[in-house]
Amino acid sequence: MRILVIGATGLLGTEIVRLLSRDHEVIGASRKGPALTVDISDKASIVAMYRQAGAPDAVICVAGTAKFAPLDVLADEDFAFSLANKLMGQINLVRCAPQAVKPGGSITLTSGVLALHPIPGGAAVSVVNAGVDAFVRAAALELAGKLRVNAVSPGWVSETLQAMGRDPDEGVPAAVVAQAYRKCVVEDITGQVVSAALSPQ
How far from chain centre, in Å, is Cα 73? 27
Alpha-carbon distance 158 to 177, whole Å? 10
pLDDT cut 90: percent of the chain above it: 77
The whole domain housing 51 covers: 2-198
pLDDT confidence of residue 35? 81
Give the pTM: 0.92
pLDDT confidence of residue 136? 98
Model confidence at 159: pLDDT above 90: no
How many structural domains does the chain have?
1
- Nearest Cα residue to 192 out of 111, 74, 96: 111
Q: In what order do the strands lie in the sheet with 58-61?
A: 36-37, 25-30, 2-6, 58-61, 106-110, 148-153, 193-195
Model confidence at 197: pLDDT above 70: no
User: pLDDT-derived band of residue 166, with 50, 70 and 90 as boundaries?
Assistant: confident
CATH number of the domain to which 20 belongs = 3.40.50.720
Alpha-carbon distance 163 to 181, whole Å? 23
- The tens digit of pLDDT for each residue in 53-64 reads 999 999 999 999
Alpha-carbon distance 175 to 12, whole Å? 8
**Is the backbone of residue 69 left (phi > 0), alpha (psi -120 to 50) or beta?**
beta
User: pLDDT-derived band of residue 201, with 50, 70 and 90 as boundaries?
Assistant: very low
pLDDT confidence of residue 17? 96
Question: Contact 50/96 with Cβ under 8 angstroms?
Answer: yes
pLDDT confidence of residue 135? 98
- The tens digit of pLDDT for each residue in 91-142 reads 999 999 999 999 999 999 999 989 998 999 999 999 999 999 999 999 999 9
**Is the backbone of residue 138 left (phi > 0), alpha (psi -120 to 50) or beta?**
alpha
pLDDT confidence of residue 155? 80
pLDDT confidence of residue 162? 78
Higher pLDDT, 34 or 152: 152
Cis peptide preceding 154, ω within 30 of 0: no
Could you tell me how many residues make up the chain?
201
**What is the pLDDT averaged over residues 141-167?**
88
- The tens digit of pLDDT for each residue in 181-195 reads 999 999 999 999 999
Query: Which own/partner contact pairs does 183-186 have at CB distance under 8 Å and 24+ positions apart?
Result: 184/60, 184/106, 184/108, 184/148, 184/150, 184/151, 184/152, 185/1, 185/3, 185/20, 185/58, 185/60, 185/106, 185/108
Higher pLDDT, 46 or 166: 46
Model confidence at 199: pLDDT above 60: no
